[in-house]
């Protein structure tokens, strides 16, 4: 048995959960926050047999998409009186970060 743990953008989470439940996978959604952009994410957890992992990954690929956003970088440490004009930087985020883990034991109580 495998545990598929996917961190996805909050805008993709509902469609991912719906697509997985339509295929009769049991899904748990947890709210989380990213460390870099401090934006809302969702962690989606699915326990499946090894033969089903590729199907789950294909659903994730179909529903989770990367996005671009402009952010202002953090200013460097400056001396008093110095002036720093930040220029927006384009950052790509979203899509999905997926971990597939071995499950040592599974019980449904």
Q: What is the pLDDT of residues 51-92, one digit of tens each?
A: 999 999 999 999 998 877 777 776 666 667 676 667 787 777
- The more confident residue out of 25 and 84 is 25
The structure tokens listed for 56 are: 């789950």
Q: Give the HSE-up count for residue 80: Cα atoms under 13 Å, Cβ half-sphere.
A: 0
Strand order in the sheet with 27-33: 27-33, 40-48, 2-9, 96-102
> Please, what are the domains in the chain?
2-102 (3.30.70.120)
Q: Which residue has the tokens 């400056």?
A: 78
Q: Give the HSE-up count for residue 66: Cα atoms under 13 Å, Cβ half-sphere.
A: 6
């Amino acid at each position: 048995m495998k545990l598929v743990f996917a961190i996805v953008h909050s805008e993709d989470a509902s469609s991912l959960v719906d697509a997985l439940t339509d295929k009769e996978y049991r899904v748990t959604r947890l709210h989380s926050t990213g460390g870099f952009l401090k934006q809302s994410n969702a962690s989606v957890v699915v326990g499946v047999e090894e033969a089903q992992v590729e199907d789950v990954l294909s659903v994730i690929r179909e529903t989770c998409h990367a996005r671009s956003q402009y952010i202002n970088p953090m200013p460097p440490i400056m001396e008093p009186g110095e002036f720093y004009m930040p220029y927006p930087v384009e950052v790509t985020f979203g899509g999905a970060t997926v971990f597939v883990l071995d499950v040592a034991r599974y019980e449904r109580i």
